[in-house]
Structure 1
Amino acid sequence: MTRVIAIANQKGGVGKTTTTVNLAASLAAMKRRILLVDIDPQGNATTGLGLEKHGQKTTLTDVLLGEAHVTEILQKLPDSSLHVLPGSPEVTVAEVKLMNSERREYRLREALSPLRGAYDYILIDCPPSLNMLTVNALVAADGVIIPMQCEYYALEGLSALVGTIDRITQTANPELQVMGLVRTMYDPRSNLSRDVSEQIHAFFRNKVYNTAIPRNIRLAEAPSHGLSVLEYDKGSRGALAYLALAAEMLRKDSSKVAADGEQAW
């Protein structure tokens, strides 16, 4: 059964796209069938995997507006079970046009519906804002993973995201749940990193993944080469951390499914 996961945080610079790309690559390396959906107008997840975000004849905008089928923009990475629905700056056009449309918040969910069953996981890279594109991602998703940088003000604004998730569960998507929080840019030598990590644990308790993503130069370099960190340097601390996160996510997911029978979350 396909799990759809939105990777979301309205704060920029928290490692959201880095987490989406490298979690997707790690799950694919574990022989899972993965689809990455880049709904962020910046398109960094797309370019971070070596794909073009400019000059596409048909884009995610066309899909969201009902003018194209999702399979028309699907791209497959060579020698990988990772497929991509690439992003583009034009997706902001869809956001504007959808504002006065019926069922505007369901467009991505409906577009992805034909692909459910074709993948084990669909990961959605959300914009760093709580706009209609992010709402579409949350309505389409079964769960949310929230990356949080271990820096000052890490918790600032998070209540707005949690409030949005709560409103969506009460209206458009009652099955939506927060799967977990991922601590990013973690430096165990830093008092600040440790202090913020403790704050995150105190606030979210068992929702925090044990795996923390460290600051790592190879992780920072990989996107400029159009590669996941696993392809760029599979032995780096960044690559090993995302492989560990993927394994932890799979374990928790399996435990949840076992506890709930056939329920996804």
Structure 2
Amino acid sequence: MTAADFAATRARYTASDADLAVILGVSTGTLAAWSTGARAVPKQKAALLCWYVAAEERAKVLEASGLPACAWMIACDEQFDATETPEDLPDPEPHVATCAACHKREAYADRRLGPLPPMPRSGIVSIIDTFDELPRWARPAAIGAIVLAAIADGEMISDLPRLVRDPSQIGLATLTLALAAGAGAAGGLAYALTRPSLERLGRPGDYLSGIAFTLACLSALAVVSPFAIGDPLIRNRTDLVILACVGVFFGLVIGHSWLGPAKTPAESRP
């Protein structure tokens, strides 16, 4: 979006500069810099401004339509303006899907302006939304992959000077990162499959869930290590026993620290 495009789009939105700055998460000085071209308008901010302009124009069209407003939506808007925790408000989508008045208003606006696109999200919010859209059984696998990949990435950062000196090691470092993510995904999947049954066992089930996670991670590494790095993780029965003991130990740690019952503030005080 050029400075001229930003200024033209801004002129269509009736909010004050102060309110728009809050909406976009910037300062009024940044708005001025965008208008003059002193600073480039980030794509995400430009998309967000365009969405608010489209939403306001849609509201004006509906207000002039003469169609009766939905009492539930009016009450919801009033609650939104009055609350400091909008995340606690009810989700309007289920209501809109079944409300005749909302259907008529949406159809009227769609015929004149086209459908309103989804509200643009920031990078981290988009990631969270994508995570929430995953099936429940897939979420632990995603978490496991992210956690172990982050741990491996931390190790790679500490080795960054060596990688700069010897770029040939970058491929191995990337493979290590992929293996860590794959092992974490395997552990998360094992957790997702076993947790519903083990959770019924109470505290022992927490420990067993942790063990299932770590053993699945180590098993995945053991399976792929001969093909990925040419060096098997398990060469004999002793290696298998050691691997199992390591898995059980760290599984107990995870079950105790991650899956244990949350302490109340009173319980946390000495």
What TM-score results when the alignment is normalised by the length of structure 2? Answer: 0.24
Higher relative contact order (CA 8 A, sep 6+): 1
Higher strand share: 1
Bigger Rg, which one: 2
Higher helix share: 2
